[in-house]
Amino acid sequence: MRLLLVHPSALMYSEIFLRLEPLGLERVAAAARDAGHTVRVVDLQVLSHKLLDRELRSFQPEALGISLNYLANIPEAIEIAHRAKAASPGCFVFFGGHSVSFVGDHVLEQAEGAVDAIARGEGETVVVPLLEAVPDDAAHTVPGVVTAQGRGPAPRMLESIDSPRPARDLMRRRNRYFIGELDPCASIEFTRGCPWDCSFCSAWTFYGRSYRRAAPEAAAEEMASIREPNVFIVDDVAFIKPDHGHGIAAELERRNIRKQYYLETRADVLLRNEEVFERWTRLGLRYMFLGMEALDADGLDQFRKRISPDENFKALETARRLGISVAINLIVDPGWDEEQFRLVREFAMAVPEIVHLTVMTPYPGTEVWHTESRQLTTRDYRLFDIQHAVVPTRLPLEQFYRELVRTQAVINRKHLGLRTAVGALGILGRHLARGQTNFARMLWKFSRVYNANRQFSDHARPVRYELPLPERRTAAPGRKELFVHTIGRSGSRPRAGAGAQAPAGGGTETPAGGGAGVTAGAGADPVAGGGTSAEPAATTGAATETAAATGPGTGSTTGTGAGTGAGAGTAAGNSTETGAGTGSGTGTTTGTAAGDGTGTGGGAAGAGSASGQ
């Protein structure tokens, strides 16, 4: 079957700071190609809509899959679906990805027949059976698929994230992918998931609070195949397990692979596993993203980060000592006044790190979507991009945007203005000599993209497609109610492998096929504490793994509560470990705040790799 896969256009944030290859879409493409299908990929982050229209006419796809990791891209995707049906009336159109997995039924109705199916959950496992079912009009029977005729069983999870390897060869204009100074930049995935449960994030609900790891050998082999000199490690929280970080490092050292790396992690993970990060600096680790989210304890508690301000600031000191440049993310609450913006400006100018701002946004699949007491002021999908306010602001909306852009502009002048350019002439020269212009464009595009008048006027645009209204609740829904991938249901649990190892807080962890571990249990701290929460494990990024608690006090992943635990965790493979630890739970965020899941991982048409969201 001729399959065309499409990634939508870049969002506002990606117009300046980064543009990452759609790693999840590449993996979906690989799965379909391995099954014998003819596959093409159009990434509208770097290619034009005119090229897409030519591709629809010339390739005449029998199936079109669109990746929707971000709500803001849904209107664009529906319009593409209508164009595809006009160009090829018999084309089977399906959407997949992180965000659309939570609103699939609603999007099917809005598309008015232009979309045949929504594929929920990981894309690598659903794309082949879905394409096989299309000729028999049986798409509604496929696990994870929703159609107008009905829905199939629960979505399935990969047994191992070692394969399929991303079909990078199908991507055009790879030189357009970059992040900051790393230009060009490829992406790679070492793990899916993370054992935290931040209230603003939907990734842990997408993956059913799970965590998987690629085998070090497989990770190194993929790294060796990457042509780009720079690589962004898309894991939501890098090197949670020090043995895994050391294992991949050893394989890279053995192969003498040297690149420049950018990754995301948490402050407490950096402090706990400093020796791993230090080893990676010798391999080329230069940049790190830390989602601090808030400067004070109240803000951290609000987002359920399970971390203290002291830990955040100690982590910054550690990164400086290791020679790693850090980008910090802070979440802007729409309830801020002028004084709070002023304090953030003062902080941003007082530290050497780059500071990014994202606006708190309730997303479907997050707890705050159900519990946020303030009413939404808009349901326009396009404004759910963490750069617009979608709940009432304390300041008049226009003034809120003026304060937001003023604060961002101060940070821009510090890091991206002419002064920075003068200091970065060597970097610019090297990039331009290779024909790489992404970094140069980034330095001077800020005022065209971040503009208070533009952001305010965006609210006045005609709205054709709107989000469904959230179900109002007085308390947070039960965790499992929010899950896309669930435990104990058909197809949801990866197969356990031998050599399982329990994490240090008395949890159970089982490598699944090729070293992808399954973490599980109810713990307060995902790495060093077996707490007593009755909730199953948690993830907050692009995760993929199932949880299964075994034994009293077990838990390698996050519960909701702090506590000390000494639990015996039994691995499903050949080993059993007992661990004791003290946990105080920790939350996670990856990249730009406010929940629109992100990371890499499945998604029917690919749950691409985004920095945060």
Write out pLDDT tens, residues 529-564: 322 222 223 323 333 333 333 333 333 333 333 333
Instruction: Name the residue type at position 309.
Output: P
Radius of gyration in angstroms for the set of CA atoms belonging to the chain, rounded to a whole number: 22
Q: Read off the pLDDT of each residue in 241-250 and give the average, rounded to a whole number.
A: 98
Q: Is the model's pLDDT at 55 over the cut of 60?
A: yes
Comparing 485 with 549, the larger pLDDT belongs to 485
In three-state form (DSSP H/G/I as H, E/B as E, the rest C), the secondary structure along 286-304 is EEEEEEEECCCHHHHHHCC
Q: 92 and 62 in contact (C-beta within 8 Å)?
A: yes
Q: Work out the pLDDT band at 521, boundaries 50, 70, 90.
A: very low
Token representation of residue 320: 């400086």
Task: With cut-offs at 50, 70 and 90, classify the pLDDT of residue 326.
Answer: very high
Residue 302 tokens read as 């609000």
- Count Cα atoms within 13 angstroms, Cβ side, for 429: 5
> Of 47-56, 115-124, 398-407, 562-571, which range is least confident?
562-571
Cis geometry, peptide bond prior to residue 470 (ω within 30 degrees of 0): no
Provide the CA 493 distance to its chain's centre, in angstroms.
21
Query: Quick one: how far is CA 153 from the chain centroid?
Result: 25
Residue 6 has pLDDT above 80, yes or no: yes
In terms of pLDDT, which residue wins out, 307 or 416? Answer: 307
- pLDDT class for 481, splitting at 50, 70, 90? confident
C-alpha 535: how far from chain center? 23
Contacts 24+ apart (CB under 8 A), 217-220: 217/251, 218/162, 218/163, 218/514, 218/515, 219/188, 219/190, 219/248, 219/251, 220/248, 220/251, 220/252, 220/254, 220/255, 220/257
Coil, helix or strand at residue 569:
strand
In this structure, which topology does domain 2-151 adopt according to CATH? Rossmann fold (3.40.50)
Q: Give the residue, 116 or 411, on which the prediction is more confident.
A: 116
Report the SS3 class of residue 455: helix
Paired tokens of 140: 């509604």
**Separation CA 64–CA 220 (nearest Å):** 32
Phi, psi (degrees; rounded to nearest 5) at 396: -55, 140
Top-confidence residue, 163 or 526? 163
pTM tops 0.85? no
For residue 497, name the pLDDT band (cuts at 50, 70, 90).
Answer: very low
CA dist., res. 353 & res. 350, Å (int) = 9
Q: What is the DSSP string of 63-79?
A: EEEEE-SSGGGHHHHHH
Q: What is the DSSP letter of 484?
A: S
User: Residue 316 belongs to what H/E stretch?
Assistant: helix 309-322
Look at 11-15, 216-220, 249-253, 594-598 and tell me which has the smallest mean pLDDT: 594-598
Question: In the structure encoding, which two tokens stand for residue 79, read together?
Answer: 């319009």
For the record, the structure tokens of 106 come out as: 């609603």
- The answer on pLDDT for 220 being more than 70 is yes
Averaged over 464-492, what is the pLDDT? 72
The pLDDT of residue 366:
85
> CA-CA distance, 119 to 141, in Å (whole number)?
12
pLDDT of residue 424: 58
Q: What is the pLDDT of residues 17-44, one digit of tens each?
A: 789 999 999 999 999 999 999 999 999 9
Nearest Cα to Cα of residue 158 among 188, 191, 205: 191
Compute the C-alpha angle 65/113/28, nearest 5°.
Answer: 10
Angle at 540 between CA 534 and CA 544, to 5 degrees: 90
Helix (H, G, I), strand (E, B) or coil at 343: helix
pLDDT of residue 20: 95
* Cβ contacts of 301 within 8 Å, gap of 6 or more: none
Question: Rounded distance, CA 453 to CA 393, Å?
Answer: 16
Quote the strand ranges of 33-91, DSSP E. Answer: 38-43, 63-67
Of 1-10, 44-53, 80-89, 557-566, the one with minimum mean pLDDT is 557-566
Longest CA span, the chain = 63
Cβ–Cβ under 8 Å, residues 469 and 379: yes
Summarised one tens digit per residue, pLDDT across range 261-312 is 999 999 999 999 999 999 999 999 999 998 777 777 776 666 566 678 788 8
SS3 label, residue 467: coil
Q: What's the rounded Cα separation, in Å, for the pair 200 and 376? A: 15
Place of tokens 């959950």: 121
H/E run at residue 107: helix 104-111
Question: What six digits make up the tokens of 383?
Answer: 């404004």
pLDDT computed for residue 431 by the predictor = 53
For residue 184, say if its preceding peptide bond is cis, omega within 30 degrees of 0: yes
Query: CA 14 to CA 177: how far, in whole Å?
Result: 10
Q: What is the mean pLDDT of the chain?
A: 78
- Residue 145: strand pairing partners: 119
> CA neighbours within 13 Å on the CB side: how many for 265?
31
Residue count of the chain: 613
How much is the average pLDDT of 72-94? Answer: 97
